[in-house]
Amino acid sequence: MTVKNILFAALAASVLVGTSGVRQLRAEENERVAFPHGYEAGVHYATVNRGGIREELFASRAAVEAAKQGLPLPEGTVVMLEDYRQDRLYRYVVMEKRAGWGNAYPEDIRNGDWDYREFRADKTPNPAEDGTRCLACHKSQAGNDFVFTYDRLRAAR
């Protein structure tokens, strides 16, 4: 092995280690957003209808107040979206923001300190959804703290 080859092998090894490190963090990541029992006590700030889908959205009073001031939502914020199909609860999707949670993600997919989780109608997490799609689509809303319905939060009573 030439010196160049040894250097290359070392570099390749460190890249591999780095990658698996990220994977492991991602797996832990998905255990982090727990089902937010009691969310209904917060503010029901919007209903979104699209075709046969009805979405009911909830957030905390503190999140509404922050949005009214045009601020990023406070640490600890949970946004709940109940997803009804033909008027039957189909699933829940949840986003939650905790200091440092974004550190596990590479910058190109990171959504600040938000993380995402889908729960089935029985409130258990859906293991088939690892959150990558959520991050990718919500990234487009970086200017609104990654929340599509930020203006609806703002307008809430």
Which residues form the interface with ligand HEC (CB under 6 A)?
48, 55, 57, 79, 81, 93-95, 116-118, 129, 133-134, 137-138, 147-149
What does R_g of the chain's alpha carbons equal in angstroms?
19
Identify which of residues 57 and 66 has a Cβ nearer to ligand HEC in the complex.
57
Q: How far is the CB of 96 from ligand HEC (least distance, A)?
A: 9
Q: How far is the CB of 68 from ligand HEC (least distance, A)?
A: 16
Identify which of residues 22 and 56 has a Cβ nearer to ligand HEC in the complex.
56
Identify which of residues 66 and 81 has a Cβ nearer to ligand HEC in the complex.
81
Identify which of residues 20 and 140 has a Cβ nearer to ligand HEC in the complex.
140
Q: How far is the CB of 125 from ligand HEC (least distance, A)?
A: 10
